[in-house]
Amino acid sequence: MRGLTQLILLLLAMCLSLWLVLGFWPLGFSSRVGISLLVVILSGMKGYLLWRKHNRNALSQGQITDSTLPPEDFQGAVVLVCGDNDALFSASVPFRETRQGWYLPVETPDQLPLLAQHLAAERPALIAQISLLMAIVPEQHQDRDDFKQSLRTWHRAIAQCKGWLAGLPPVWVSTWVSPPSAPLAEPERWYTVTYVQKGVQVYEAGSGVIPLGQWSQYQNAGNSQERLSAAFWIESLHSWLKVYVQSILTQCQGEVTALNPCAWVHCLTPVTGSHNNLWQSHITRVTSLTPVVTALQDLLPLPDVLLSYQPRRHGVSRLMQTWQMAGILCGIFLLLALLASFINNQRLIQSVGDHLALYHRLTGMPPEPKVHARQQLRADARLLDNWLRSGAPMRLSLGLYQGMRLIAPLEAAINSWAPPPPPPPVINKIIQGPKTIRLDSLSLFDVGKYVLKTGSGKVLINALVGIKGKPGWLIVIAGHTDDTGDEKSNQILSLRRAESVRDWMRDTGDIPESCFAVQGYGEIRPIATNDTPEGRTANRRVEISLVPQANACQAAAIPHSSND
């Protein structure tokens, strides 16, 4: 189940990565395809490694069954019993459950990291409740070097559990030795040394916690001699542990740090031992007495009284770990997507800003570059308008879209300029026909105006007798002004006056528009000096000429031939 959860999280991470690359990150098409393929390949390799690791762990943990593990909602302490645990567990039941704890035996040092890894995978909520108990039965060891080597091996195995158990869990040492004399029918009693309390404390059912010195000197007890002997036995055991155990665990072994147990627990109970063991040698050397080797009939008692004093933390279940990891992946994706959306919006603002700057920098002379720039602004405006109607693309969204505030500057810039109208046809050479009629502008228009005055029709009718559209002839109407005012205004005024005359002739004489050509010369073709009023009056004129030109006035030929 743990391997399946990791594969699901890997698939989620791959999908979010592809979504980020293809939907948000500002990359080119080839870059997106390349990175997407790389993400898929790396995800496939990681999935293969997870699958192999899962199978390898399944083989190495084949002897660990979930039936021996505590349930995931177990509220008590989970104790991994290392060292001399043969006398603590039976062959039929590979674990022991008490009111306050769940004890699991660890057969060999090599099995301890595997069991820790299996617990982390299958019972992650119980990680904070795990502690390591180093069980020591001194009467079962005969060789000092073998015993020290065994402790060093367990020390290294305990240090390897850090990565699986969220750091080094609480480690405590429990010792069982036979009492100095035949035991009486007394309640179970434990002698402890912890970092919280000074000296040896005695835990006895029904009596609470009493310091060893006060307990051994209790006068009202009927077994005061046995208490003094037990106190002496415990002190001897402390000296033995200091030489054989503490000196090994509290030393560094290369990269393996020193191990300082949080508690030392001792129990005086009949223990099955071997002859000439380390404990006998120590007691004989200290007291010249030889402990009696007894045979144990039942399992050794468990130090359950100390479990309530173990540090407790709140663990995280496997489901919660999965949701936390999924939340972390989604959070990373959201942060990167927001960053990509911000970059995309900044690029949009910069692109439109560059188009606007180029448009405003162009003067319009010649008009072609500014026309092209104006077309680009129109394309930008259409794109932003489409996004306004149908919604911005995903790569610009997530609440960071900036395109709406760009629409108004674009429309203002587009409407601020219009391309000039195409220039009228240029007549390079005018061949004067038989008639050129010259009309005074003041007889037709008011000063500075180009709208025909009331009554100007009589002047035009009298002056234009004989002027009519003929195939192959072009009626050229040219407007002229004096030099009063600026040159550009005079040119526009002369053109508009020529157009007014053309419109009157076209509408009155039913002459097709293709028979006309208009030109406004302004002040550039004077016929008299502009220094006198008479000269300026002569220069303000409208001239009408018939010019031969092929394919001119073709529409006029149709009604003419029908009259014939």
List, for residues 409-466, the tens digit of each pLDDT value.
Answer: 999 998 888 887 766 655 555 444 446 788 887 788 888 888 888 877 777 776 666 6
Neighbours of 208 (CB within 10 A): 9
Distant-in-sequence contacts of 26-30, Cβ < 8 A, 24+ apart: 26/340, 26/343, 26/344, 26/347, 26/395
DSSP code at position 14? H
- Strands 171-177 and 263-268, by their bridges, are parallel
Lowest mean pLDDT among 492-496, 508-512, 519-523: 508-512
61 pLDDT above the threshold of 60: no
2 pLDDT above the threshold of 70: no
| 286 contacts: CB under 8 Å, gap ≥ 6 | 236, 239
pLDDT digits (tens, 9 = 90+) for 191-211: 888 877 778 888 876 667 888
43 pLDDT above the threshold of 80: yes
319 pLDDT above the threshold of 90: no
What's the CA gap between 22 and 16, in Å, rounded? 10
For residue 57 the two structure tokens come to 């762990």
Lowest mean pLDDT among 363-367, 393-397, 465-469: 465-469
DSSP code at position 551? T
Distant-in-sequence contacts of 347-352, Cβ < 8 A, 24+ apart: 347/26, 348/396, 348/402, 348/403, 348/406, 349/402, 349/406, 351/380, 352/380, 352/406, 352/409, 352/410
Average pLDDT over residues 307-336: 78
Give the pLDDT band of residue 58 (cuts 50, 70, 90).
low
What's the CA gap between 441 and 448, in Å, rounded? 10
Give the pLDDT band of residue 109 (cuts 50, 70, 90).
very high
CATH value of 436-563 in 3.40.50.920, 3.50.50.60, 3.40.1500.10, 3.30.1330.60 = 3.30.1330.60
334 pLDDT above the threshold of 90: yes
564 pLDDT above the threshold of 50: no
Q: Is 442 in contact with 537 (CB distance < 8 Å)?
A: yes
Length of the chain: 564
Which residues are 135's β-sheet partners? 83, 174
Between residues 550 and 393, the one the model is more confident about: 393
